[in-house]
């Protein structure tokens, strides 16, 4: 959506996290918030006529070509999936 090819993050799909600690967790949460704020800006400024444009999704070779709309929907679904995981872990830890 920003003119770059869709691909895996530079740090990889599952980068090593090292030992868990509160500061790392806060850094991850802050990074996620910043990425989402930036994404909202990109979505708001994205030209309406480009939503149905097909792009090569290198981040998911099984998907092949997808539209920008499908790309954003997939990202939203991905975030919801992980938010559910976090909610379940919080429930296990905090009762």
Domain boundaries in the chain?
A: 22-94
Which percentage of the chain shows pLDDT scores above 70?
Answer: 88
Q: What is the DSSP string of 28-66?
A: HHHHHHHHHHHHHHHHHHS-GGGTT-EEEBTT-TTT-EE
Which percentage of the chain shows pLDDT scores above 90?
Answer: 34
Q: Which residues pair with 6 in a beta bridge?
A: 57
pLDDT class of 85 with cuts at 50, 70, 90: very high
């Amino acid at each position: 959506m920003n003119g770059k090819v869709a691909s895996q993050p530079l740090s990889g799909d599952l980068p090593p996290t090292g030992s868990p600690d509160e500061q790392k967790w806060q850094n991850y949460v802050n990074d996620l918030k910043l990425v989402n704020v930036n994404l909202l800006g990109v979505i708001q400024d994205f030209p309406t006529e480009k939503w149905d444009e097909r792009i090569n999704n290198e981040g998911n070779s099984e998907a092949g070509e997808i539209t920008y709309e499908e790309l954003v929907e997939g990202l939203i679904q991905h975030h919801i999936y992980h938010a559910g995981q976090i909610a379940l872990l919080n429930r296990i830890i905090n009762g």
